[in-house]
Amino acid sequence: MNVIVDTLPETPRPTARITAARRFGWLLRREFWEHRGGFLWAPLVAGAASLVLSAMGIVLAMVAARGKFRGDTEITLHDGTSVSINGLDLNMLTSRMGHEELARLGDGIDLTLIMASGWPFLVLAFVVFFYCLGALYDERRDRSVLFWKSLPLSDGETVLSKVASAVLVAPLLATIASILTMFGFLVLVSLVVLFYGGNPVTLLWGPASPLLLSLQYLAAIPVYALWALPTVGWLLLCSSWARSKPFLWAVVLPLLAGILVAWLEFLGVLGDVTWPFFRNVVLRALTSIFPMTFMDFEYLRDVDFSLPGAARQLMSPAGVYRNLASVDLWGGVLAGAAMIFAAVRLRRWRDEG
Amino acid sequence: MNAAAESMAVVEARGLRKAYRAKVALDGVGFRIESGRIVGLIGPNGAGKTTALKAMLGLIPFDGALQVLGRDPRTERDDLMRDVCFIADVAVLPRWMRVREAIDFVAGVHPRFDRARCERFLANTQLNPRQRVRELSKGMIVQLHLALVMAIDARLLVLDEPTLGLDILYRKQFYQRLLEDYFDERKTIIVTTHQVEEIEHILTDVMFIRDGKVVLDAPMEDLGERFVEVLVDANQAEAARQLGPLDERSLPFGKTVMLFDGVSQAALSPYGETRTPGLADLFVATMKGTYA
């Protein structure tokens, strides 16, 4: 039989050349398909909701301010009332201002923009949390892992595609939603300014720095990705390990550990370790996907808000990238990488019965 | 290289052992599967069939020596999966996926996937590219899965209960498709199923597995030589029993069917009408007492 087969010409096999990069691209696409709702629509809806609420507030404020007009174009609310939307004092918008006042106005608007555009990021944190918890658990529960494993995809690249989706794809989409919200908000306020006869270009678009803020948001994504790794790693580990209820395991284990440490400290077995433990382990494992770090908080404390341009400093790359100098961040990266590696091993050998 | 590849067994197992906490699923299993065969792996529930398949597919750790297409599935799984494909159970396609997405994805990641072939298979079905898997009936999900798998030019295809829960129309169609549009002498198929009668005509080899051991491993054509079924009259029964039948069952009107292993047809014909037993009867005889 061998002889016969040997003399037959090898039947041509259609083999496409598929590079690792192309495969990874398809893996990312597959994550996006499954989680389009969380990655794409949730941040957009959050941004839209923030715009709708802002619009409602503005209308409310305009109605409240109606009785207080004097003359034709200027609002003068000098009787002590102030109306503000997301912290933006509408009154200021139409006042006549000098150079310094304009700069201050710019700061005010920038702060407002940061607040208005923050919603998609809040949603992002929750989306990423539950995405990671389900990423390796759901496929085992519905046994679709057996389909994915029937394809020439390694466990390593599959899990890494989920990490990349959590720390890069989802944040990028949320950032885009946030930037859209920011510009939407500016358009909304421009309409108000126009309504009162002001010039939105000189009063809003000139003093504010939406483009700079947008770039700052985008520039912050890599730092966010590194900072989020311990939480992403921990949640993926729970997701690949738990036989059921990954949420409970993921949340209860660190909390119990924290309580145990607190108890030991209370008994005098351990020294003053409870807060450091919570800060460096419990909170790092559970909340690092929120786009704020301890460093950021410390940094914010040092920002002098009385200086012009302070708002632009909040998200400045110089400030954000200072995180890279912290042991906190790199310790987290190491721990996250170790947990992701463990999750890969678990996915490789877990027997789904 | 061609010669080497052809003379190499597709699967070669020696001393496979796998113990779960409660029981031993594989107890020193050894077998060899050549290229161009369709092997039925048949056994009662819990006999170790699925464990054996999972070992071949590198899904579980195990002890012993196992080579699939010359590779160890424990350490070379990523490489192996380019040449091996499997349908493990029905309905493991992700429920959120659309038909079109499933095709796009497999086309994107599998070097041996032929998109045109897959679409040709699907053209004869009622599947719509925009439908999600969760909107499909079980039979349609299997049609989709089979179309995806048959468009992959794999050397080994492993099917674990691929038609469980399907109606007879889908089941017949499934195996017919596999034979007509997929199988050729370069490919090998290993299939487990409980619906023994439906696949016995497509198998080239059969392997019975019981309590983690291979109890029968033979080409189908050998079964006819080895096993004989005799329809024995009541007055001949005692005499026939002297030859040591593997199993016997009574029919109405005093006749008894006896199944013999290794007794020639000529030696048995005096006792009554002889015939080659069906795979199902053979299975029942071999597995007697499994659940006792």
- Scanning every residue of chain B, which has its alpha carbon at the shortest distance from the alpha carbon of A348? B59
- CA distances to B75, B236, B239, B254 from B270, in Å: 57, 9, 10, 17
DSSP-derived letter for residue A11 is P
pLDDT band at residue B194 under the 50/70/90 scheme: confident
Q: Cβ A26–B57 below 8 Å, yes or no?
A: no
Q: What is the mean pLDDT of residues A191-195?
A: 84
* Res. B233: pLDDT tops 90: no
Q: Cβ A146–B113 below 8 Å, yes or no?
A: no
- Scanning every residue of chain B, which has its alpha carbon at the shortest distance from the alpha carbon of A36? B96
The answer to whether residue A21 is domain-embedded is: no
pLDDT digits (tens, 9 = 90+) for B253-283: 778 888 888 888 888 888 888 888 888 888 8
Distance CA A168, CA A225 (A): 6
Alpha-carbon distance A250 to nearest alpha carbon in chain B (angstroms)? 25
Sign of the torsion formed by the C-alpha atoms of A290, A291, A297 and A298:
positive
Total number of domains constituting chain A: 1
Alpha-carbon distance B76 to nearest alpha carbon in chain A (angstroms)? 10
Instruction: Report all structural domains of chain B as residue ranges with CATH numbers, in order of start.
Output: 2-211 (3.40.50.300), 222-286 (3.30.70)
Residue to substitute from A27, A151, A158, interface B, most B β-carbons within 10 A: A151
Give residue ranges of A with CB < 8 Å to any B CB.
2, 5-6, 10-11, 13-18, 22-23, 25-27, 29-30, 33-34, 139, 142-147, 149-154, 348-349, 351-352
Burial class (CB in 10 A: 0-12, 13-18, 19+), B33: buried
Residue environment code for A266-295, b if the CB has 16+ CB neighbours within 10 A, otherwise e:
eeeeeeeebeebbebbbbbbbebbbbebbb
Q: What is the mean pLDDT of residues A188-201?
A: 82
Q: Cβ A16–B111 below 8 Å, yes or no?
A: yes
The answer to whether residue A17 is domain-embedded is: no
Q: Cβ A152–B109 below 8 Å, yes or no?
A: yes
Give the percent of chain A with pLDDT over 90.
Answer: 52
The answer to whether residue A323 is domain-embedded is: yes
The answer to whether residue A288 is domain-embedded is: yes
Distance CA B69, CA B83 (A): 8
* Res. A353: pLDDT tops 70: no
Give the residue with greater pLDDT, B103 vs B43.
Answer: B103
pLDDT at res. A253? 96
pLDDT at res. A4? 40
pLDDT at res. A79? 41
Quickly count: other Cβ atoms within 10 Å of residue A167's Cβ. 24
Question: Hey, which of A203-207, B93-97, B245-249 has the most confident mean pLDDT?
Answer: B93-97
The answer to whether residue A8 is domain-embedded is: no
Task: Provide the 3-class DSSP secondary structure of residue A239.
Answer: helix
Prediction pTM value: 0.88
* Res. A161: pLDDT tops 80: yes
Cβ(B197)–Cβ(B239) below 8 Å: no
Give the percent of chain B with pLDDT over 90.
Answer: 51
Task: Provide the 3-class DSSP secondary structure of residue A85.
Answer: strand
**Bridge partners of residue B256, in order along the sequence:** B232, B250
pLDDT digits (tens, 9 = 90+) for A106-115: 778 888 888 8
* Res. B196: pLDDT tops 70: yes
- Scanning every residue of chain A, which has its alpha carbon at the shortest distance from the alpha carbon of B108? A26
- Scanning every residue of chain A, which has its alpha carbon at the shortest distance from the alpha carbon of B98? A33
pLDDT at res. A139? 94
Give the residue with greater pLDDT, A184 vs B247.
Answer: A184
The DSSP element (H or E) to which A308 belongs, if any, is none
Q: Cβ B108–A142 below 8 Å, yes or no?
A: no
Give the residue with greater pLDDT, A82 vs B13.
Answer: B13
- What is the extent of the structural domain holding A132? 26-349
Give the residue with greater pLDDT, A303 vs B114.
Answer: B114
The answer to whether residue A233 is domain-embedded is: yes
The answer, for B95 touching chain A at a CB cutoff of 8 Å, is yes
Question: At a CB cut-off of 8 Å and minimum separation 6, what does A202 contact?
Answer: none
When CB atoms are compared, the residue of B95, B105, B109 closest to A142 is B95
pLDDT digits (tens, 9 = 90+) for A215-257: 999 999 999 999 999 999 999 999 999 999 999 999 999 999 9
**3-state SS string over chain B?**
CHHHHHHCCCEEEEEEEEECCCCEEEEEEEEEECCCCEEEEECCCCCCHHHHHHHHCCCCCCEEEEEECCECCCCCHHHHCCCEEEEECCCCCCCCCEHHHHHHHHHHHCCCECHHHHHHHHHCCCCCCCCEHHHCCHHHHHHHHHHHHHCECCCEEEEECCCCCCCHHHHHHHHHHHHHHHCCCCCEEEEECCCHHHHCCCCCEEEEEECCEEEEEEEHHHHHHHEEEEEECHHHHHHHHCCCCCEEEECHHHCEEEEEECCCHHHHHHHEEEECCCHHHHHHHHCCCCCC
pLDDT at res. A104? 73
When CB atoms are compared, the residue of A6, A26, A152 closest to B105 is A26
The answer to whether residue A244 is domain-embedded is: yes
pLDDT at res. B201? 87
Mean pLDDT of all residues belonging to chain A? 84
pLDDT at res. A15? 65
- Scanning every residue of chain B, which has its alpha carbon at the shortest distance from the alpha carbon of A351? B60
* Res. B143: pLDDT tops 70: yes
When CB atoms are compared, the residue of A34, A150, A352 closest to B96 is A34
* Res. A184: pLDDT tops 50: yes
pLDDT at res. A84? 53
Alpha-carbon distance A351 to nearest alpha carbon in chain B (angstroms)? 6
Chain B residues lying within 8 Å of A26, measured CB to CB: 104-105, 108-109
pLDDT at res. A51? 93
pLDDT at res. A126? 96
Burial class (CB in 10 A: 0-12, 13-18, 19+), B3: exposed
* Res. A322: pLDDT tops 80: yes
When CB atoms are compared, the residue of A2, A34, A144 closest to B7 is A2
When CB atoms are compared, the residue of A29, A34, A149 closest to B59 is A149
The DSSP element (H or E) to which A233 belongs, if any, is helix A210-241
Mean pLDDT of all residues belonging to chain B? 89
pLDDT at res. B90? 66
Q: Cβ A153–B109 below 8 Å, yes or no?
A: yes
Alpha-carbon distance A156 to nearest alpha carbon in chain B (angstroms)? 10
Distance CA B16, CA B23 (A): 15
Burial class (CB in 10 A: 0-12, 13-18, 19+), A168: middle
Distance CA B161, CA B198 (A): 12
Give the residue with greater pLDDT, B115 vs A312.
Answer: B115
Chain B residues lying within 8 Å of A142, measured CB to CB: 92, 94-95
The answer to whether residue A174 is domain-embedded is: yes
pLDDT band at residue A318 under the 50/70/90 scheme: confident
Q: Cβ A5–B95 below 8 Å, yes or no?
A: no
Residue environment code for B141-176, b if the CB has 16+ CB neighbours within 10 A, otherwise e:
bbbbbbbbbbbbbbbbbbbbbbbbebeeebbebbbe
Distance CA A3, CA B26 (A): 36
pLDDT band at residue A31 under the 50/70/90 scheme: very high
Cβ(B70)–Cβ(B85) below 8 Å: no
pLDDT at res. A144? 93
Give every strand in the sheet of B227-232, ordered side by side: B247-250, B256-261, B227-232, B272-275
pLDDT digits (tens, 9 = 90+) for B14-25: 999 999 887 899
In the numeric block, which tokens belong to residue A276? 């450091």
| ipTM for the predicted complex | 0.90
pLDDT digits (tens, 9 = 90+) for A265-311: 988 888 888 888 998 899 999 999 998 777 677 667 777 666 767 77
Chain B residues lying within 8 Å of A10, measured CB to CB: 2
When CB atoms are compared, the residue of A10, A26, A29 closest to B2 is A10
Question: At a CB cut-off of 8 Å and minimum separation 6, what does B270 contact?
Answer: none
pLDDT digits (tens, 9 = 90+) for A70-102: 433 344 444 444 445 555 555 555 555 566 666
- Scanning every residue of chain A, which has its alpha carbon at the shortest distance from the alpha carbon of B80? A152
